[in-house]
Each structure stands twice: as structure tokens, then as C-alpha cells.
Amino acid sequence: MAAVTAEPQKGELREPAGWRRTKNRIATALMVLSFVVVIIPLGFVLYTVIAKGASVVGWSFWTSGTIPSIVAPLGEGGIGAAIVGTVEIVALASVIAVPLGVLGAVYINEYGGNRILARIVRFMADVMTGVPSIVMGLFIFSIWVVHFGTNGFSGLAGAFALACLMLPIVIRSSEEMLKLVPNSLREGSYALGATKARVTMTVVLPAAIGGIVSGALLAVARAAGETAPLLFTILGAQSLNWNVFHGANTALPFLIFSNASQPYVGAEARGWGAALTLIAICFILMIVARLVTARFARYAR
């Protein structure tokens, strides 16, 4: 393409060079500028989080089970409870959402085909990705938490809310991956007399597994960073809670949110430390997802 654009400039038979070329250059410069505009806030945020968080994080900060009160100075306690909570809740949410999402994608791509119901499900999954995360929190609050009173607040409720958020993402990404599986694989298995369920489970899904895992990891990264669905479902706890099914729990985003607007130096510092930890977790998930995609990409084609 570059060669094509270069051509008329060299030829300069009709190229007036003046205003048209200037306009083209201005437009190109603006496009490059818009990318620069995107990098600046990203760099600014990452720099601040690393600069302010690096001195806070450390082994004892990560492992200390009890979150100190917001007025406590830095050095007392740590965010272990929030890390454990995040891992528990996000893992449980994934256990709920990933299998259901993959099955939903199997329905859309393998069974539904072009049928109207499959098209509706696909369309509504797209729409559901746009439902605000806070609405998911309100939803789980009104369908689950209110029926159990104060016992309703638990890691499980938070996991339900996150699972609602993840479900449509997993469905759409898995469906895209199932689409890439060549039909010859399916036809070959049918020719051997396999049932459709068997073909799906032993041929189609394994062929698409790389993409499915990578899509699921991106959904997990998204869920791990979400605060709003957790606000009304896990209540927030100060101490370590290993039981994800019972009792108030806490999570990294939740902790950051409650520390963010506190005028106490210790709380603020813990917020930055937790933010660095959370960003690290999300980035690692994303990088792993990319690696998985790269690893399986050849197989998928």
C-alpha cells in the first residue's frame, strides 16, 4: 500500500503538491497524534501506580491477613485478606461462568446455526456485555442477598455477580473460536459414526481450546478488576475469610475503593500498594492469555 501512495508523488505529472498533499500530511499527523494521546494517560497511570506502590508492596504486605483500620499508619497489617478474597471470588466466578459460557457458545455455533433462537441468543449476549457492572451487583443483591438478610453477603454472592459479567464475554469469545474450527474436522468425525455430543467434546472443543482459554482469561482479568458488582454482595471484611460460601469477604478492588478517598496517609499508601498488586494480576492474566493464543494459534488454523 505504501508503494501505491508513493507512486503518484514520484510521478508528479498531475500532483499539485500544494494543499492536497498538506492536507494528507496533516491528517496523518493527527492520526499519529491520537495514538500519542492514548499513550500519555496510560503511561501516566502506570508510572504513578508503580512509583507509589512499589515502596509499599512486599512479602509481609501481601501475606498479612488482617486489613488494618484506615487510620492505621503504613506498616501495620497488609492486604492478604483482599488477595485471598479476590482469588477465591474470581475463581468461583470462573468455575460458574466459563463452563456455562462455553456451553452457550457450543449451542450458538454447533446447534443453533442460523436459527432465529441462536441469533437472538448471540445478539442478547452482545447486548449483555453492555449491561453496567453495577447493575449486575444490584441484580444479585435483589435476587440473592435480600433473601438471606445479613447472611446473604458472601464471596458466593460476589462470585455470582462477577459470573454474570463474565458469561457473555466468554460466550462471544468462545463462539468466535469455535467458528475457526475447520468443518473437515467435524465431517471426519461424523464419518466415523460419532454422535454430535462426542464430536463436540472430543474434536471441536479440543481444537478450539487455546482460543477459548485465552478468551476466558481475558474475562477473568476483567472480572478481577471489577468493584461495582462486589459493593453490595460481599460487604467488605477486615480479616481473612477462607470460606467463600459464607460470611463477609473482601477483595482488592473493594479495598482500593474504600481507601481511595480517605485522607489518611496509611490508607492512601495501602491503596496504591493494592492497586499495584491488582494491576500486576490483571496484566499477568492478559499476558498469559496472549501467550496461550500464540501457542495455540497455529493449531487453530
Partner 1 sequence: MSAVTRVDPAVPAGSTRALSARRPLGDRSFQILTLAAGLLVLVILVLIAITTSQQATSWFSAEGLKIFTNNWNPGANQFGGLAFIYGTAITAAIALIMAVPVSIGVALLLTEVVPPRWARPIVYVVDLLAVVPSVVWGLWGILVFAPWLQHIYTSIASGVGGVPVLGPLFGQPVDGASFFTAGIILAFMITPIVTSLSREVIATVPAIDKEGAYALGATRWEMITGAVWPHSQGGVVGAVLLGLGRAMGETIAVALVIGSSPEITSHLFAPGYNMPAVIANQFGESSGVFRAGLMGLGVLLFVFTIIINVVARGVVQRNARRKRGA
Which residues, numbered 201-260, are part of the site for partner 1 (CB under 8 A)?
201, 221, 224-228, 231-232, 253, 256-257, 259-260
118 part of the interface to partner 1, by CB under 8 A: yes
Count CB atoms within 10 A of the CB of residue 212.
25
Of 21 and 242, the one with the shorter C-beta distance to partner 1 is: 21
100 binds partner 1 (CB under 8 A): yes
Quick check: 112 binds partner 1 (CB under 8 A)? yes
Q: For the CB of residue 157, give the shortest distance to partner 1 in the complex, in Å.
A: 13
Q: Which residue is associated with the grid cell 471441536? A: 204
The reply on whether position 14 binds partner 1 by CB under 8 A is yes
The backbone torsions φ and ψ at residue 242, rounded to the nearest 5 degrees and listed phi first, read -75, -20
Residues 6 or more apart in contact with residue 234 via CB below 8 angstroms = 85, 89, 153, 154, 155, 157, 158, 248, 249, 250, 251, 254
- Least distance CB 127 / partner 1 (angstroms): 5
Name the DSSP letter for residue 248: -
Q: 175-189: buried (b, 16+ CB within 10 Å) or exposed (e) per residue?
A: bebbeebeeeebeeb
Q: Is 21 in the site for partner 1 (CB under 8 A)?
A: yes
Judge contact between 128 and 167, C-beta under 8 A: yes
Per CB under 8 A, which of residues 177..206 are in contact with partner 1? 183, 186-187, 190-191, 195-201
CB 200 to partner 1: min, Å? 7
Please give the size of the binding site for partner 1, defined by CB under 8 A: 106
> Of 75, 95, 126, 299, which lies in the binding site for partner 1, with binding defined by CB under 8 A?
126
Q: CA 140, CA 143: separation in Å to the nearest integer? A: 5
**95 lines the binding site for partner 1 (CB under 8 A):** no
Beta bridge partners, 235, equal 249
Q: Does 87 bind partner 1 (CB under 8 A)?
A: no
Closer residue to partner 1, CB minimum distance, 44 or 299: 44
Lookup: cell for 184? 473437515
Does residue 34 bind partner 1 (CB under 8 A)?
Answer: yes
Alpha-carbon gap, residue 214 to 300, rounded angstroms = 12
Nearest distance in Å: CB 176, partner 1: 12
91 binds partner 1 (CB under 8 A): no
Tell me how far CA of residue 122 lies from CA of 21, 118, 186, 249, in angstroms: 45, 6, 22, 34
Choosing from 77, 78, 101, 215, the residue that interacts with partner 1 (CB under 8 A) is: 101
Using CB under 8 A as the binding rule, whether residue 85 contacts partner 1 is answered as: no
Kind plus residue range of the DSSP H or E element containing 172: helix 155-180
- Check binding of 291 to partner 1 (CB under 8 A): no
Give, as ranges, the residues between 44 and 73 that touch partner 1 (CB under 8 A): 44-46, 48-49
Query: How many Å separate Cα 80 from the centre of its chain?
Result: 22
Q: Which of 10, 42, 150, 301 binds partner 1 (CB under 8 A)?
A: 42
Locate cell 465431517: which residue? Answer: 187
Residue type (1 letter), 121: V
Burial of 229 (0-12, 13-18, 19+ CB in 10 A): buried
Using CB under 8 A, which of the segments 57-65, 75-83, 113-121, 205-213 binds partner 1? 113-121
Closer residue to partner 1 in complex, CB, 141/296: 141
